[in-house]
Structure 1
Amino acid sequence: MRLLHTSDWHLGRSLHREDLLPAQAAFLDHLVETARAEQVDAVLVAGDVHDRAIPSLGAVELFDRALQRLARLSVPTVLISGNHDSARRLGIAARLIERSGVHLRTDVARCDEPVLLEDAHGTVAVYGVPYLEPALTAAELGAERVGHAAVLGAAMARIRADLATRPGSTRSVVLAHAFVVGGEASDSERDISVGGVPSVPASVFDGIDYTALGHLHGCQTLGERLRYSGSPLAYSFSEADHRKTMWLVDLGPGGEIDARRIDCPAPRRLRRLRGTLAELLADESLAGHREDWLEVTLTDAARPERAMEQLRARFPHTLQLAFDPQGRLDDGPVGYAARTRGLGDAEIALGFVRHVRGSAPDPVEEALLREATEAVGAAAGGED
């Protein structure tokens, strides 16, 4: 049986205010075409379909169109809710739309209710475990403790109990949205540490023929049968070096796994540049980055004026600007009171500029500051 494993679409998300809906639409076109061209038997979406609990209208429309197109191809689709989704909103009318081959698993109570798929070698039972918030699901699942490992372990115990009632030849697939030990995070996943240790051991999925994971945005293989597809687009500059893909998984008659990566379309490359403003504006070797989305870190000792404006004149798609001054003047660990003891108003003002900017005021600025502090002092003396 051929499965297409994807996750973490985050429909409606932007990248530093850059609208990503067109890029997400292009990805969904690619997903549907891949399902057709590769003749997949099912599409697995391991959570975080939307970026927000109440998604934008544009995000909902994208989602709706993608499901309609997959249904027209007669490709069953199994989806679970992630920690970004509203499980109840995503799961509205779930039982009704199952008739079209779209199986939404957002209800904890249905985690041991498999979608049964058939191929020439028999039955594949596909179980969807939605994201489990420990404090909200521990009691319902009968978990011994309130924690991520405990609630997911309890859900998997229910799944194994159901599998035990089925013929021994039944192959098993699980979709789960979790942080599994050994996975590598990026900056764009939402923290799920509320409720204790956020990670769960990989052993919780032992005995399952294939586990399609979601939550972490980098494509990763934690074991032959345990994989993250990662997000189809980069959602932070920490993902600049990621290769964004989906997994095309062939599940053999005895549970054998043959998996390969299918590249996702990228609207632009993400790159990180570092240097002084003058270096970045003059370096001819950087000409190829003109069409990239950029995160730029300036190392000038003093902040250049109109830095973003100048950068965007050469690199129009600069999205983020940071400063890490090299060789700047430093006041050291001495406290404010000690630095200003015995100084006059002008010296304190000059010292403040030096401390904040990392360089001393130039002669014109110093003259203006002294004139201003003297004028304020004279005015205050007149009032007395």
Structure 2
Amino acid sequence: MVIMRILHTGDFHAGRQLRGMDRTPEIRAALSEILSIARDSKADAVLVSGDVFDTVNPSAYAEDVVYEFYLGLREAGIPSVTIAGNHDSSERLRSIRGLLKQVGAHMVTHVTPNLQDLVYPVQARDGTLLQVLAFPFLSERKLVKLADIAEGNVSQWRQKYQEGMNFFLRRMASYLRPDAVNMLMMHLTFDGSLPSGSERSFTFDITNSYTVSARMLPEALQYVALGHIHKPQQVSELPPAYYAGSIIQLDFGEAGEQKYVNLIEAEPGRPIKFQQIPLQSGKRLKTVRVKLDQIEQMDSLNAFDGLLRVIVELPAGMGTAGLKERVAKVLPSALAIEIEASQQDLKSRTAGRSNLSDVELFEQYYLERHGALPAEVKEAFLEASRWTLEGEEP
């Protein structure tokens, strides 16, 4: 029997903006690189584990980049299965899944009562069958009712979420086949996973209470393809479960991380062979901390060919007027310049903010970072606040 080769990637975040800079050209280069790897490795299928886009309303350029990738897979004769992530608009992706299916790109956007809709068989060139259980992002609000949250504590919410996920996984296990390569694809936070710090939390609780455990995974699975966490990592040995991670360093929380795609070699009923293939695309990101009296000594950093973030450590009682301009004069290539106040100043500011409303706190934050708060940004903040309180999508 010929061994199947499956490429696992995800977290493209096409349309990503970093401090006003569009990262989509770099994402396009990374997708082109992944397409070449798929061709060269003679991949039988590509699994994309969510967050194809960075926002629910991506730019036309971001859409062009993503659909160009799927067309490239079609030209190479490589089918793909993609799940919607928490950054994606499930409805938007569902609206074009019929078209994408015509080029061999299967898009799974919603969890439906008929779990058969989440099972995608993919046939290899030699006829070997790959059975993909494709489970798109499912908001915890769908599993944990707001009434339960109002009455319970965090541990109870987590238990309800895990019970719901465990139910779906047990039901989906019935679709596994002994004569096929069996894989599961999900977009969520796994127990023990280590975030890069640039992921947007999709939980009510910033400690990521809503997680899935390896104990829930069907033993017959040969590989679990995970998305959402941007740091590439293995989170389970049996069955083997991996985050492929993002395809470029998306934010300064990912500075210094090597990015990969995962290549899995598999045949029915046998352990897989796993390989990480490093990606070369995308600008390197770097954060530099500097004291006030060291600013003029940083000009050597202008030789850095990536994206630079400079944090200036400010002594107590020092003002910030003209400080960013001073750094920019020495380092015109710096993408981000931030001022870090002393602990003494922070305590003083905290005391002065105790009676401020959420919107007043946001206005003060925005003023310190960017200047006066535009009316449209304030309205977006108010809308997001209403969304959070009401538990409904905008």
| TM norm. shorter chain > 0.5 | yes
Work out which of the residue numbers 83, 103, 108 in structure 2 matches 1:105: 108
Aligned letter for 1:201? S
Residues 147-169 of structure 1: CA deviation (Å, up to 9, x unaligned): 44233222212221122xx4x23
By how many angstroms is 1:120 displaced?
Answer: 4.7
- Identify the match of residue 293 of structure 1 among 293, 297, 307: 307
| 2:204 alignment counterpart | 194
Equivalence for 2:362: none
Q: What's the offset of the Cα at 1:253?
A: 4.3
1:312 and 2:304 correspond: no
Matches within 5 A, 1:293-372: 293-301=307-315, 302-303=318-319, 305-325=321-341
Output the amino acid matched with 1:199. Answer: T
What is the letter of the counterpart of residue 74 of structure 2?
A
Which one is further off, 223-232 or 172-181? 223-232
Partner of 2:34: 31
Q: Which amino acid aligns with 1:130?
A: P
The aligned amino acid for 2:122 is L
Tell me the residue number matched to 2:174: 161
Could you say which residue in structure 1 is the equivalent of 2:227? 214
SS of 1:180's partner is: coil
In structure 2, C-alpha distance between the alignment counterparts of 1:174 and 1:210, rounded to whole Å: 7
Residues 12 and 173 (structure 1), Cα distance of their counterparts in 2 relative to 1, 3 Å cut? same
Match of 1:349 in 2: none
Partner of 1:149: 162
Q: For 1:90, give the aligned amino acid.
A: L
Which consecutive unaligned segments of at least 5 residues does structure 2 have? 146-156, 353-394
Cα 1:19–1:158, aligned 2, differ >3 Å: closer, same or farther? same
2:266 pairs with 1:251: yes
If you compute each CA radius of gyration, which structure gives the higher value, 1 or 2?
Answer: 1
Q: Number of residues paired by the alignment?
A: 329
Cα RMSD of the aligned pairs, angstroms, is 3.1
Q: Give the secondary-structure state (helix, strand or coil) at the position aligned to 1:24.
A: helix
Task: Classify 1:76/1:320 alpha carbon distance in 2 versus 1 (closer, same or farther; 3 Å).
Answer: same
CA shift digits 1:2-53 (9 cap, x unpaired): 1111111111011111111110111111111111111111111000101111
Alpha-carbon distance in 2 for matches of 1:105, 1:331: 48
Separation (CA, whole Å) in 1 of partners of 2:313 and 2:158: 49
Q: Give, in whole Å, the separation in 1 of the partners of 2:349 and 2:70.
A: 59
Written as runs of structure 1 = structure 2, the 5 A alignment for 1:44-83 is 44-83=47-86
Equivalent residue, structure 1, for 2:291: 276
CA distance in 1, matches of 2:68, 2:161: 34
Letter in 2 for 1:92: S
Separation (CA, whole Å) in 2 of partners of 1:212 and 1:335: 46
CA deviations 1:229-263 (Å, max 9, x no partner) are 01112222111131111111112443322222222
Which of 168, 177, 191 is the equivalent residue of 2:187? 177
In the alignment, residue 152 of structure 1 is paired with which amino acid?
Answer: M
Could you tell which deviates more after superposition, 229-238 or 86-95?
86-95
Q: 1:96 to 1:138 in 2, by over 3 A?
A: farther
The answer to whether the 8 Å contact 2:70/2:103 transfers is no
User: Counterpart of 1:294 in structure 2: which amino acid?
Assistant: L
Greater mean alpha carbon deviation, residues 255-264 or residues 58-67: 255-264
Question: 1:194 is paired with a residue of what secondary structure?
Answer: coil
Counterpart secondary structure, 1:199: coil
Partner of 1:374: none
Report the Cα distance in structure 1 between the residues aligned to 2:99 and 2:341, rounded to whole angstroms.
59
Distance 1:304 1:126 in 2: 55
| Post-superposition offset of 1:121 | 8.0
Sequence identity percentage: 27
Change (3 A) 1:304 1:10: same
Q: Which residue number corresponds to residue 356 of structure 1? A: none
Residues 129, 135 of structure 1: CA spacing in aligned structure 2 closer, same or farther, 3 A cutoff? same
1:243-299 Cα shifts (integer Å, max 9, x gaps): 11111111244332222222223432211111224424315764543x331221112
Aligned residue for 1:91, secondary structure, equals: helix
Q: 1:297 to 1:128 in 2, by over 3 A?
A: same
Q: Distance in 2 between matches of 1:123 and 1:111?
A: 17
* Alignment partners' CA distance in 2, 1:245 and 1:138: 34
State the shift of 1:86 in Å.
Answer: 1.1
Gaps of 5+ in 1: 337-384
Deviations 1:86-136 (A, max 9, x none): 112112242454242111111312554222323658322112100011333
User: TM-score, normalising length from structure 2?
Assistant: 0.75
Q: Secondary structure at the match of 2:186?
A: strand
Pairwise CA distance, 1:324: 3.0
User: Which one of 109, 112, 122 corresponds to residue 116 of structure 1?
Assistant: 122
The counterpart of 1:203, out of the listed 215, 225, 228, is 215
Q: Match for residue 232 of structure 1?
A: 247
